[in-house]
Structure 1
């Protein structure tokens, strides 16, 4: 859907995911957040585990900013979930976060995913976002890396 305002004015468009727009918004928000907070050391990293055949076993993506590490995604292949890979990946990410100067980590997990896993690793619930499909919630958690 496209809406034009007064012929030569702004155009509002909705549609499918726009990768270029996502990248631009991220750049703009990082610049704004850096200026507003005074913390300018934004970065990102990943942790990846592959099996002997090169197939993905699991992985994690995260960002860092001003001493905070935010875990974006952590996933382990179903047939490998009881092998301890989730813990190994999380511990590797925490180590990398420390290497990058972070002293705390934030993550969220839907109630049907893994909040208990994070709590087992020392994360404390700080709040919930309600309204996740199926009557679930998004559990927000935090861990200090200085303990």
Structure 2
């Protein structure tokens, strides 16, 4: 902990309340800077007959852009097309919410090829991921949107 007059700097584990406050402050800042304040989030979830998670996706929308935070499918269900079904459902939901583009990043040991097979193009790379991997940033214009 560092103090300077009446200010205190603390480093620690993830703080949900701090995350909430940062999200509110950045959302307000972004809206003031851009005039766009339509930020929302959504998810797509697949469960089996026992209610166990098969796979899912977490995403956000803002200003016509959909950002995919996470997409995961359990290992024994990956060859059954659930990743594609989840991604297509998310793209349809993004379109319904007025988005005309989607952005996602995937480590090279994860699924960049999966996204590329679904029409995503690489727009950048962050080097230096452990194990000699990269973080691949990708983008897709959604068909069916007025701007595609």
TM-score, L = length of structure 1: 0.96
Which structure 2 residues correspond to residues 114-125 of structure 1 after superposition, within 5 A?
114-125=111-122
1:91 match? 88
State the Cα distance separating 1:87 from its structure 2 match.
0.1
2:73 alignment partner in structure 1: 76
Q: How does 1:3-82 map to 2 (within 5 A)?
A: 3-6=2-5, 9-82=6-79
Describe the superposition over 1:104-141 as per-residue Cα deviations: whole angstroms up to 9, x where unpaired. 00000000000000000000000001111111110000
2:100 counterpart residue number: 103
Total equivalences in the alignment: 144
What is the CA deviation profile of residues 17-44 of structure 1, one whole-angstrom value per residue up to 9, with x for unaligned ones? Answer: 1111011101111111111112111000
The offset of 1:5, in angstroms, is: 1.0
Distance 1:44 1:126 in 2: 23
Aligned to 1:82, the other structure's residue is in SS state helix
RMSD of the TM alignment (CA)?
0.7
Q: For each residue in 1:34-81, what CA deviation from the matched residue of structure 2 results, as whole angstroms up to 9, or x when unmatched?
A: 111121110000000000000000000000000000000000000100
Note the residue ranges of structure 1 that are not aligned, 5 or more in a row: none
* Poorly superposed stretches of 4+, deviation over 2 Å: none
- Secondary structure at 1:11 match in 2: strand
Structure 1: distance between partners of 2:32 and 2:3: 32
TM-score (norm: length of structure 2): 0.95
> Displacement, 1:95?
0.2
